[in-house]
């Protein structure tokens, strides 16, 4: 284990590419460079609120035992071998070209090398202004920082590819935020999260040099990304093969989001990881009642571009933007277009395999695919709590005889009692399901085991996050600590105090259902 202050950091990105080394933090366009030097702006009183012991152990980082170590996590200390910077990237936001964006409140301190030789970027979110902050202050509030810290770790334990969070630090400063962009700004306690990932490169990092026709920068970035993060890809056609792998990783990520009911809320191209990770936790949510049209982002209304059920299609659209950015490296676009058109087949093959696992079915044949489609249509009509419904489905007694017995079994998953037609639909669906289970060759226990491995029992619901945030703001960290532990084992019944539907009051309380991009 090594201290943050004594580590010799690597800085391969900074040393490989041209950057703006002036250190000036005023907002500006930075053509010709892929990053700008950006030193964190000190805060009043960095105080460690949370530390991911498992991630620290994986990285070989010793937990801070002095103010000096905590000062690094709060941006008040930069060691001699760190070369902090903010990345320059562009993006399509809500389907429209937004031009230069960049790290507006994230500063990468350096690259931490582990014993295997693999490196991880350590990045502070909320550490102050950068040249890409535009009209913002580069800060983050406790509310959004708790959400980022807990959810990135929760997704990791759910088995979903994600960036991680090492620490959560209170800054001692107050930050002005308009939570819903409605003119009701208020001061909130500030905080900083240290985020960790092999790389924070996004689709937008490649869109930026392409848009500026900086083809040499684009080619250099692509070649470096492949050699560093996809070293198994070589040869003259490596760029095309790399794009195909990014596409496949992205499709697999979407399948995982759909499996656990995660809704990102703001799938702009600058929020799409080139490594296929979940990145940038803002107005996200898990599904409560099953609704493919649900979006947790107030900014996404009324179009619902980033609604739960649209995420796979939006991922393909975003991959199309990445393909357009890579097009200058090809003599023609035919191969890129063909690769992009292959997305649907890849996604649906992975999706139906995932759904078969959620349902405990052994085969992904034509009949089961048709059943899965009908099953999902039934869920859309019935609108049960997605997480609880699948848990009850795994425990469904196969001998239930009538509609009422079936309705009673699933009672705890419904936010509103099903009417007569819905009870009939539920009964018919479960009977068809039991028939499908009967075609499995393995014992029922094997089916249940597969279901429990693919269906989380505990999810980090927004109302729980809201309650934990309120507790921390008032000095009570008990719920936060409980959640931090519970999310490490979300497939078991060890934390069944959190196995419950969203309460009625949470549908109307700010931050418990809908959130804004500032969340």
Q: How far apart are CA 128 and CA 133, in angstroms?
A: 9
Q: Rounded distance, CA 88 to CA 32, Å?
A: 10
Tell me how crowded residue 201 is: count the other CB atoms within 10 A of its CB: 25
DSSP states of 425-483 as a string? HHHHHHHHHHHHHTT-SS-HHHHHHHHHHHS-S----HHHHHHHHHHHHTT--HHHHHH
Catalytic residue among 20, 71, 103, 270: 270
CB 251 within 8 A of CB 350: yes
Helices 238-260 and 343-359: crossing angle in degrees, nearest 10, is 30
Structure tokens belonging to residue 213: 């026709």
Establish whether 270 is a catalytic residue: yes
Can you tell me the distance from the alpha carbon of 19 to that of 35, in angstroms, rounded to the nearest whole number?
A: 5
Length of the chain: 519
Contact by Cβ (8 Å): 152, 229: no
In degrees to the nearest 10, what's the CA dihedral of 187, 189, 194, 195? -50
Closest CA to 145 of 282, 266, 297, 284: 282
345 alpha carbon, distance to own chain's centre? 23
Token pair recorded at residue 433: 């399901």
8 Å CB contact between 107 and 123: yes
The whole-angstrom separation of Cα 153 and Cα 166 is 9
What single DSSP character describes residue 500?
Answer: S
DSSP 3-state percent helix, strand, coil across the chain (nearest 5): 45, 15, 40
Please enumerate in sequence order all residues whose Cβ is within 8 A of that of 276, keeping only pairs 6 or more positions apart, or say none.
161, 246, 249, 250, 252, 253
Q: Which residues are catalytic?
A: 270
């Amino acid at each position: 284990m090594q201290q943050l202050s004594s580590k010799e950091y690597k800085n391969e990105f900074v040393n490989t590419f041209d950057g703006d080394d002036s250190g000036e933090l005023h907002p500006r366009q930075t053509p010709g460079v892929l990053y700008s030097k950006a030193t964190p702006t000190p805060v009043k009183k960095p105080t460690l609120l949370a530390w991911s012991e498992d991630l620290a152990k994986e990285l070989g980082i010793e937990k801070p035992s002095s103010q000096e170590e905590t000062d690094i996590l709060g941006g008040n200390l930069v060691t001699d071998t760190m070369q902090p910077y903010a990345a320059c990237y562009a993006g399509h936001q809500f389907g429209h070209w937004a031009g230069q964006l960049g790290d507006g409140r994230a500063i990468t301190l350096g690259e931490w090398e582990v014993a295997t030789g693999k490196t991880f970027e350590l990045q502070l979110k909320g550490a102050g202004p950068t040249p890409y902050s535009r009209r913002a202050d580069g800060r983050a509030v406790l509310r959004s920082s708790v959400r980022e810290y807990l959810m990135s770790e929760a997704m990791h334990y759910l088995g979903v590819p994600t960036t991680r969070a090492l620490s959560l630090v209170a800054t001692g400063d107050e930050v002005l935020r308009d939570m819903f962009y409605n003119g009701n700004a208020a001061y909130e306690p500030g905080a900083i999260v240290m985020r960790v990932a092999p790389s924070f490169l996004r689709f937008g990092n490649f869109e930026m040099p392409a848009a500026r026709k900086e083809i040499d920068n684009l080619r250099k970035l692509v070649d470096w990304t492949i050699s560093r993060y996809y070293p198994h890809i070589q040869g003259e056609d490596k760029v095309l093969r790399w794009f195909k792998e990014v596409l496949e990783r992205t499709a697999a990520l979407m399948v995982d989001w759909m499996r656990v009911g995660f809704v990102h809320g703001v799938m702009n191209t600058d929020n799409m990881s080139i490594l296929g990770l979940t990145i940038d936790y803002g107005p996200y949510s898990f599904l409560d009642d099953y609704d493919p049209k649900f979006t947790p982002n107030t900014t996404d209304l009324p179009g619902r571009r980033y609604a739960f059920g649209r995420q796979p299609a939006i991922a393909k659209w975003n991959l199309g933007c990445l393909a357009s950015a890579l097009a200058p490296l090809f003599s023609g676009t035919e191969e890129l277009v063909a690769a992009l058109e292959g997305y649907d087949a890849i996604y649906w093959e992975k999706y139906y395999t995932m759904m078969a696992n959620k349902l405990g079915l052994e085969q992904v044949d034509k009949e089961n695919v048709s059943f899965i489609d009908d099953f999902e249509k039934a869920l859309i009509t019935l609108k049960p709590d997605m997480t609880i419904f699948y848990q009850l489905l795994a425990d469904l007694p196969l001998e239930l005889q009538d509609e009422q017995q079936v309705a009673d079994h699933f009672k705890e998953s419904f936010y509103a009692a099903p009417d007569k037609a819905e009870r009939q639909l539920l009964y018919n669906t479960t009977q068809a399901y039991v028939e499908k289970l009967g075609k499995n060759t393995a014992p029922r226990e094997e089916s249940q085991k597969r279901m429990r491995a693919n269906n989380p029992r505990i999810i980090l619901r927004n109302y729980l996050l809201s309650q934990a945030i309120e507790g921390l703001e008032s000095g009570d960290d008990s719920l936060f600590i409980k959640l931090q532990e519970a999310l490490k084992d979300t497939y078991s019944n060890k934390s069944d105090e959190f196995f419950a539907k969203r309460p009625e009051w949470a549908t109307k309380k700010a931050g418990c259902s809908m959130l804004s991009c500032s969340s």
